[in-house]
Amino acid sequence: MYTASENRYGSMNYVKCGASGLRLPQVSLGLWHNFGSHFPKENMRQLIFTAFDNGITHFDLANNYGPEPGSAEQNFGEILREDLNAYRDEIIVTTKAGYEMWPGPYGDWGSRKYLLSSLDQSLKRMNLDYVDIFYHHRPDPETPLEETMGALAQAVQSGKALYAGLSNYDGPRMREAAKILSELHVPFVVNQNRYNILDRGIEENGLKQAAAELGKGIVAFCPLAQGLLTDRYLNGIPADSRIRTDGRFLKESAVTEERLAQIRRLNNIAAERGQKLSQMALAWVLRDGITTSVIIGASKPSQILENLKAIQNTQFTEEELAKIDNALK
Protein backbone atom coordinates (compact mmCIF):
# COMPACT_ATOMS: atom_id res chain seq x y z
CA MET A 1 0.00 0.00 0.00
CA TYR A 2 1.35 3.40 -1.00
CA THR A 3 2.24 5.95 1.65
CA ALA A 4 3.39 9.34 0.44
CA SER A 5 6.77 10.70 1.47
CA GLU A 6 6.68 12.87 4.56
CA ASN A 7 9.12 15.23 2.84
CA ARG A 8 7.02 15.70 -0.31
CA TYR A 9 6.70 19.46 0.16
CA GLY A 10 10.34 20.05 1.06
CA SER A 11 11.83 21.06 -2.27
CA MET A 12 8.99 22.16 -4.57
CA ASN A 13 8.04 25.79 -5.19
CA TYR A 14 4.31 26.59 -5.39
CA VAL A 15 3.31 29.62 -7.42
CA LYS A 16 -0.01 31.47 -7.42
CA CYS A 17 -2.04 31.23 -10.63
CA GLY A 18 -2.00 34.90 -11.52
CA ALA A 19 -3.99 36.91 -8.99
CA SER A 20 -5.95 33.90 -7.71
CA GLY A 21 -5.39 32.02 -4.47
CA LEU A 22 -4.63 28.75 -6.26
CA ARG A 23 -1.00 27.68 -6.13
CA LEU A 24 0.48 25.17 -8.57
CA PRO A 25 3.83 23.41 -8.35
CA GLN A 26 6.38 24.85 -10.75
CA VAL A 27 6.58 21.40 -12.34
CA SER A 28 3.41 19.45 -13.15
CA LEU A 29 2.94 15.97 -14.58
CA GLY A 30 1.06 15.61 -17.85
CA LEU A 31 -0.70 12.37 -18.78
CA TRP A 32 -0.86 13.08 -22.53
CA HIS A 33 1.53 10.20 -23.28
CA ASN A 34 2.36 6.94 -21.47
CA PHE A 35 -0.91 6.62 -19.56
CA GLY A 36 -3.13 5.08 -22.22
CA SER A 37 -4.48 1.58 -22.57
CA HIS A 38 -1.27 0.31 -24.23
CA PHE A 39 1.03 1.03 -21.28
CA PRO A 40 1.84 -1.01 -18.13
CA LYS A 41 -0.25 0.06 -15.15
CA GLU A 42 2.59 -0.47 -12.69
CA ASN A 43 4.81 1.99 -14.57
CA MET A 44 2.00 4.56 -14.43
CA ARG A 45 1.81 4.06 -10.68
CA GLN A 46 5.53 4.59 -10.22
CA LEU A 47 5.43 7.77 -12.31
CA ILE A 48 2.59 9.21 -10.23
CA PHE A 49 4.12 8.12 -6.92
CA THR A 50 7.50 9.61 -7.85
CA ALA A 51 5.85 12.87 -8.87
CA PHE A 52 3.74 13.19 -5.71
CA ASP A 53 6.59 12.15 -3.40
CA ASN A 54 8.57 15.07 -4.81
CA GLY A 55 5.92 17.75 -4.50
CA ILE A 56 4.18 17.49 -7.87
CA THR A 57 0.57 17.91 -6.83
CA HIS A 58 -0.83 18.84 -10.26
CA PHE A 59 -1.83 16.07 -12.70
CA ASP A 60 -2.99 17.27 -16.10
CA LEU A 61 -5.37 15.28 -18.30
CA ALA A 62 -7.87 15.72 -21.12
CA ASN A 63 -10.87 13.71 -22.24
CA ASN A 64 -9.07 12.38 -25.33
CA TYR A 65 -5.73 11.44 -23.79
CA GLY A 66 -4.78 7.85 -24.47
CA PRO A 67 -4.65 5.99 -26.68
CA GLU A 68 -7.50 4.98 -26.63
CA PRO A 69 -9.32 8.28 -25.95
CA GLY A 70 -10.44 8.35 -22.34
CA SER A 71 -8.02 5.65 -21.20
CA ALA A 72 -5.61 8.05 -19.46
CA GLU A 73 -8.46 9.36 -17.31
CA GLN A 74 -9.63 5.81 -16.64
CA ASN A 75 -6.17 4.66 -15.59
CA PHE A 76 -5.47 7.75 -13.50
CA GLY A 77 -8.85 7.39 -11.79
CA GLU A 78 -8.08 3.79 -10.83
CA ILE A 79 -4.69 4.72 -9.39
CA LEU A 80 -6.20 7.67 -7.54
CA ARG A 81 -8.91 5.48 -6.05
CA GLU A 82 -6.65 2.54 -5.18
CA ASP A 83 -3.55 4.37 -3.96
CA LEU A 84 -4.06 8.11 -3.53
CA ASN A 85 -7.62 8.47 -2.28
CA ALA A 86 -6.43 9.64 1.14
CA TYR A 87 -4.54 12.50 -0.53
CA ARG A 88 -7.28 13.83 -2.84
CA ASP A 89 -7.41 17.20 -1.09
CA GLU A 90 -3.68 17.63 -1.68
CA ILE A 91 -3.98 16.98 -5.42
CA ILE A 92 -4.94 19.22 -8.35
CA VAL A 93 -6.70 17.21 -11.07
CA THR A 94 -7.35 19.01 -14.36
CA THR A 95 -9.07 17.91 -17.53
CA LYS A 96 -10.18 19.43 -20.81
CA ALA A 97 -12.69 19.15 -23.65
CA GLY A 98 -12.47 20.69 -27.10
CA TYR A 99 -11.00 18.15 -29.50
CA GLU A 100 -12.85 15.25 -31.10
CA MET A 101 -13.91 12.70 -28.51
CA TRP A 102 -16.85 10.78 -30.00
CA PRO A 103 -18.59 10.59 -33.42
CA GLY A 104 -21.24 13.00 -34.59
CA PRO A 105 -21.86 16.72 -34.14
CA TYR A 106 -21.87 16.71 -30.31
CA GLY A 107 -18.44 15.24 -29.62
CA ASP A 108 -16.09 18.06 -30.67
CA TRP A 109 -15.32 21.79 -30.40
CA GLY A 110 -17.08 24.10 -27.93
CA SER A 111 -20.84 23.75 -27.66
CA ARG A 112 -22.54 23.63 -24.29
CA LYS A 113 -23.82 20.17 -25.20
CA TYR A 114 -20.32 18.82 -25.81
CA LEU A 115 -18.47 20.46 -22.93
CA LEU A 116 -20.90 19.53 -20.18
CA SER A 117 -21.45 16.00 -21.49
CA SER A 118 -17.70 15.51 -21.73
CA LEU A 119 -17.13 16.72 -18.18
CA ASP A 120 -19.71 14.25 -16.88
CA GLN A 121 -17.94 11.46 -18.76
CA SER A 122 -14.53 12.52 -17.43
CA LEU A 123 -15.76 12.54 -13.84
CA LYS A 124 -17.25 9.08 -14.31
CA ARG A 125 -14.01 7.70 -15.78
CA MET A 126 -11.96 9.12 -12.92
CA ASN A 127 -14.57 8.31 -10.25
CA LEU A 128 -14.47 11.91 -9.02
CA ASP A 129 -17.13 14.33 -7.82
CA TYR A 130 -15.22 17.30 -9.22
CA VAL A 131 -12.06 18.35 -11.04
CA ASP A 132 -10.00 21.26 -9.82
CA ILE A 133 -9.70 22.94 -13.24
CA PHE A 134 -11.87 22.32 -16.30
CA TYR A 135 -10.42 23.73 -19.52
CA HIS A 136 -11.86 24.50 -22.90
CA HIS A 137 -9.16 22.82 -24.96
CA ARG A 138 -9.22 25.03 -28.08
CA PRO A 139 -11.20 27.98 -29.49
CA ASP A 140 -14.26 27.10 -31.57
CA PRO A 141 -14.70 29.46 -34.54
CA GLU A 142 -18.31 28.37 -35.13
CA THR A 143 -19.75 28.53 -31.60
CA PRO A 144 -20.46 31.88 -29.92
CA LEU A 145 -17.85 32.55 -27.27
CA GLU A 146 -20.69 33.39 -24.87
CA GLU A 147 -22.02 29.83 -25.18
CA THR A 148 -18.66 28.18 -24.55
CA MET A 149 -17.89 30.42 -21.58
CA GLY A 150 -21.43 29.86 -20.29
CA ALA A 151 -20.73 26.12 -20.27
CA LEU A 152 -17.57 26.67 -18.21
CA ALA A 153 -19.63 28.82 -15.85
CA GLN A 154 -22.20 26.07 -15.44
CA ALA A 155 -19.45 23.51 -14.79
CA VAL A 156 -18.20 25.63 -11.89
CA GLN A 157 -21.62 26.61 -10.57
CA SER A 158 -22.67 22.96 -10.50
CA GLY A 159 -19.68 22.08 -8.32
CA LYS A 160 -18.20 19.77 -10.94
CA ALA A 161 -15.17 22.07 -11.36
CA LEU A 162 -13.57 24.50 -8.92
CA TYR A 163 -11.89 26.73 -11.52
CA ALA A 164 -12.17 27.38 -15.26
CA GLY A 165 -9.27 27.40 -17.68
CA LEU A 166 -8.58 28.06 -21.36
CA SER A 167 -6.12 26.26 -23.61
CA ASN A 168 -4.68 27.22 -27.00
CA TYR A 169 -6.33 30.68 -26.97
CA ASP A 170 -4.31 33.64 -28.23
CA GLY A 171 -4.12 37.00 -26.43
CA PRO A 172 -7.07 38.83 -28.06
CA ARG A 173 -9.39 35.82 -27.80
CA MET A 174 -8.41 35.25 -24.18
CA ARG A 175 -9.19 38.88 -23.35
CA GLU A 176 -12.68 38.46 -24.82
CA ALA A 177 -13.25 35.24 -22.91
CA ALA A 178 -11.94 36.74 -19.66
CA LYS A 179 -14.40 39.62 -19.92
CA ILE A 180 -17.35 37.25 -20.34
CA LEU A 181 -16.20 35.00 -17.49
CA SER A 182 -15.68 38.00 -15.23
CA GLU A 183 -19.23 39.18 -15.91
CA LEU A 184 -20.45 35.67 -15.07
CA HIS A 185 -18.39 35.72 -11.83
CA VAL A 186 -16.51 32.57 -12.86
CA PRO A 187 -13.08 31.88 -11.29
CA PHE A 188 -11.09 31.75 -14.53
CA VAL A 189 -7.50 31.43 -13.36
CA VAL A 190 -5.25 29.88 -15.98
CA ASN A 191 -4.28 29.54 -19.63
CA GLN A 192 -2.54 26.41 -20.88
CA ASN A 193 -0.51 26.81 -24.05
CA ARG A 194 2.53 25.50 -25.87
CA TYR A 195 5.65 27.42 -24.88
CA ASN A 196 9.33 26.62 -25.15
CA ILE A 197 12.63 28.07 -26.33
CA LEU A 198 11.88 27.01 -29.91
CA ASP A 199 8.19 27.99 -29.92
CA ARG A 200 7.45 31.43 -28.47
CA GLY A 201 3.98 31.81 -29.91
CA ILE A 202 2.41 33.05 -26.69
CA GLU A 203 4.81 36.01 -26.74
CA GLU A 204 4.05 36.74 -30.39
CA ASN A 205 0.24 36.45 -30.17
CA GLY A 206 -0.05 38.57 -27.03
CA LEU A 207 -1.19 35.85 -24.64
CA LYS A 208 1.71 36.13 -22.24
CA GLN A 209 1.29 39.89 -21.91
CA ALA A 210 -2.51 39.62 -21.58
CA ALA A 211 -2.24 36.98 -18.87
CA ALA A 212 0.19 39.13 -16.89
CA GLU A 213 -2.01 42.21 -17.24
CA LEU A 214 -5.23 40.41 -16.29
CA GLY A 215 -3.75 38.40 -13.44
CA LYS A 216 -4.14 34.95 -15.03
CA GLY A 217 -1.72 32.08 -14.73
CA ILE A 218 0.05 30.33 -17.59
CA VAL A 219 0.75 26.60 -17.65
CA ALA A 220 3.18 25.64 -20.41
CA PHE A 221 2.85 22.35 -22.23
CA CYS A 222 5.56 20.93 -24.51
CA PRO A 223 8.28 22.91 -22.68
CA LEU A 224 10.82 20.42 -24.06
CA ALA A 225 9.43 20.59 -27.63
CA GLN A 226 8.41 16.92 -27.68
CA GLY A 227 11.90 15.91 -26.55
CA LEU A 228 13.94 18.06 -28.95
CA LEU A 229 15.18 20.16 -26.03
CA THR A 230 16.88 17.20 -24.39
CA ASP A 231 20.18 15.45 -24.98
CA ARG A 232 18.47 12.66 -26.96
CA TYR A 233 18.81 14.45 -30.30
CA LEU A 234 22.36 15.76 -30.03
CA ASN A 235 23.64 13.06 -32.39
CA GLY A 236 20.59 12.82 -34.63
CA ILE A 237 17.28 10.99 -34.32
CA PRO A 238 17.44 7.97 -31.97
CA ALA A 239 15.92 4.71 -33.19
CA ASP A 240 13.62 4.52 -30.15
CA SER A 241 12.52 8.17 -30.30
CA ARG A 242 8.88 9.23 -30.53
CA ILE A 243 9.50 10.25 -34.14
CA ARG A 244 10.40 6.66 -35.03
CA THR A 245 7.82 4.92 -32.85
CA ASP A 246 4.86 7.29 -33.19
CA GLY A 247 5.37 10.29 -35.47
CA ARG A 248 1.96 11.85 -34.85
CA PHE A 249 3.16 14.89 -32.96
CA LEU A 250 6.84 15.30 -33.81
CA LYS A 251 7.66 14.81 -37.48
CA GLU A 252 11.03 13.76 -38.83
CA SER A 253 10.87 16.70 -41.23
CA ALA A 254 11.10 19.06 -38.25
CA VAL A 255 14.48 17.70 -37.21
CA THR A 256 16.66 19.36 -39.83
CA GLU A 257 20.43 19.74 -39.67
CA GLU A 258 19.89 23.40 -38.88
CA ARG A 259 17.64 22.48 -35.95
CA LEU A 260 20.13 19.92 -34.67
CA ALA A 261 22.88 22.54 -34.81
CA GLN A 262 20.71 24.91 -32.76
CA ILE A 263 20.07 22.19 -30.17
CA ARG A 264 23.79 21.49 -29.86
CA ARG A 265 24.52 25.19 -29.31
CA LEU A 266 21.80 25.33 -26.64
CA ASN A 267 23.27 22.25 -25.00
CA ASN A 268 26.63 24.01 -24.72
CA ILE A 269 24.97 26.99 -23.01
CA ALA A 270 23.22 24.64 -20.58
CA ALA A 271 26.54 22.98 -19.75
CA GLU A 272 28.03 26.39 -18.97
CA ARG A 273 25.15 26.90 -16.49
CA GLY A 274 25.79 23.49 -14.91
CA GLN A 275 22.50 22.11 -16.23
CA LYS A 276 21.33 19.53 -18.70
CA LEU A 277 19.64 20.94 -21.79
CA SER A 278 16.23 19.76 -20.56
CA GLN A 279 16.74 21.45 -17.20
CA MET A 280 17.76 24.74 -18.81
CA ALA A 281 14.80 24.56 -21.19
CA LEU A 282 12.35 24.17 -18.29
CA ALA A 283 14.09 26.90 -16.29
CA TRP A 284 13.89 29.26 -19.30
CA VAL A 285 10.10 28.91 -19.43
CA LEU A 286 9.88 29.69 -15.69
CA ARG A 287 12.50 32.44 -15.76
CA ASP A 288 10.35 35.57 -15.31
CA GLY A 289 7.60 34.37 -12.96
CA ILE A 290 4.78 34.89 -15.49
CA THR A 291 4.57 31.17 -16.28
CA THR A 292 3.09 29.42 -13.26
CA SER A 293 4.04 25.84 -14.09
CA VAL A 294 5.57 23.66 -16.78
CA ILE A 295 3.98 20.33 -17.70
CA ILE A 296 6.45 17.53 -18.15
CA GLY A 297 5.80 14.10 -19.59
CA ALA A 298 7.72 11.03 -18.57
CA SER A 299 8.05 7.35 -19.36
CA LYS A 300 10.43 6.64 -16.45
CA PRO A 301 10.52 7.93 -12.86
CA SER A 302 14.17 8.92 -13.37
CA GLN A 303 13.09 11.47 -16.00
CA ILE A 304 10.84 13.18 -13.46
CA LEU A 305 13.68 13.42 -10.95
CA GLU A 306 16.04 14.84 -13.59
CA ASN A 307 13.54 17.47 -14.71
CA LEU A 308 12.77 18.55 -11.14
CA LYS A 309 16.36 19.80 -10.84
CA ALA A 310 15.41 22.63 -13.20
CA ILE A 311 13.74 24.60 -10.41
CA GLN A 312 17.03 24.83 -8.53
CA ASN A 313 18.16 27.55 -10.93
CA THR A 314 15.61 29.52 -12.95
CA GLN A 315 17.62 32.74 -12.98
CA PHE A 316 19.29 33.88 -16.20
CA THR A 317 21.67 36.75 -16.82
CA GLU A 318 21.02 39.06 -19.75
CA GLU A 319 24.12 37.61 -21.36
CA GLU A 320 22.75 34.05 -21.07
CA LEU A 321 19.40 35.05 -22.54
CA ALA A 322 21.17 36.74 -25.44
CA LYS A 323 23.28 33.62 -26.02
CA ILE A 324 20.14 31.49 -26.16
CA ASP A 325 18.53 33.84 -28.67
CA ASN A 326 21.70 33.91 -30.78
CA ALA A 327 21.91 30.12 -30.73
CA LEU A 328 18.66 30.00 -32.71
CA LYS A 329 19.83 32.34 -35.46
Q: What is residue 253's predicted lDDT score, i.e. its pLDDT?
A: 72
Which pTM value belongs to this model?
0.95
Give the DSSP H/E element, type plus range, for residue 193: strand 188-194
Tell me, yes or no, whether 22 lies in a domain.
yes
Tell me, yes or no, whether 268 lies in a domain.
no
Tell me, yes or no, whether 236 lies in a domain.
yes
Q: How far apart are CA 49 and CA 45, in angstroms?
A: 6
- Closest Cα to residue 61, out of 85, 89, 28, 86? 28
| pLDDT tens digits for range 116-172 | 999 999 999 999 999 999 999 999 999 999 999 999 999 999 999 999 999 999 999
Tell me, yes or no, whether 89 lies in a domain.
yes
Q: What is residue 236's predicted lDDT score, i.e. its pLDDT?
A: 75
CA distances from 198 to 247, 277, 289, 321, 329 (A): 19, 13, 19, 13, 11
- C-alpha 305 chain-centroid distance: 17
Tell me, yes or no, whether 267 lies in a domain.
no
Tell me, yes or no, whether 263 lies in a domain.
no
- C-alpha 18 chain-centroid distance: 16
Tell me, yes or no, whether 269 lies in a domain.
no
Q: What is residue 154's predicted lDDT score, i.e. its pLDDT?
A: 98
Q: What is residue 31's predicted lDDT score, i.e. its pLDDT?
A: 98
What is the C-alpha radius of gyration for the chain, rounded to an integer number of angstroms?
Answer: 19
Do the bridges between strand 131-136 and strand 161-167 make them parallel or antiparallel, or are there none, so unpaired?
Answer: parallel
- Closest Cα to residue 126, out of 89, 86, 79, 65? 79
Say if residues 98 and 164 touch (Cβ distance below 8 Å). Answer: no
Give the DSSP H/E element, type plus range, for residue 167: strand 161-167
Say if residues 27 and 296 touch (Cβ distance below 8 Å). Answer: yes
Say if residues 186 and 149 touch (Cβ distance below 8 Å). Answer: yes
The residue range of the domain holding 60 is 14-252+277-316
Q: Cβ-count burial of 201 within 10 angstroms (0-12 exposed, 13-18 middle, 19+ buried)?
A: middle
CA distances from 211 to 39, 215, 218 (A): 36, 6, 7
- Whether the CA torsion 140, 144, 148, 151 is positive or negative: it is negative
Give residues with Cβ within 8 angstroms of 317, minimum separation 6: none
Which alpha helices (DSSP H) does 237-276 contain, by range? 242-245, 257-272
Say if residues 16 and 23 touch (Cβ distance below 8 Å). Answer: yes
Largest Cα separation within the chain, whole Å, is 53
Backbone angles phi, psi at 98, to 5 degrees: 165, -25
Q: Looking at residue 18, which CATH number applies to its domain?
A: 3.20.20.100
CA distances from 110 to 137, 166, 273, 321 (A): 9, 11, 44, 38
Say if residues 101 and 71 touch (Cβ distance below 8 Å). Answer: no
Q: Cβ-count burial of 122 within 10 angstroms (0-12 exposed, 13-18 middle, 19+ buried)?
A: buried
Enumerate residue ranges in the chain where pLDDT < 50: none
Tell me, yes or no, whether 171 lies in a domain.
yes
In the chain, the amino acid numbered 278 is S
Q: What is residue 107's predicted lDDT score, i.e. its pLDDT?
A: 98
Q: What is residue 235's predicted lDDT score, i.e. its pLDDT?
A: 83
Number of domains the chain is built from: 1
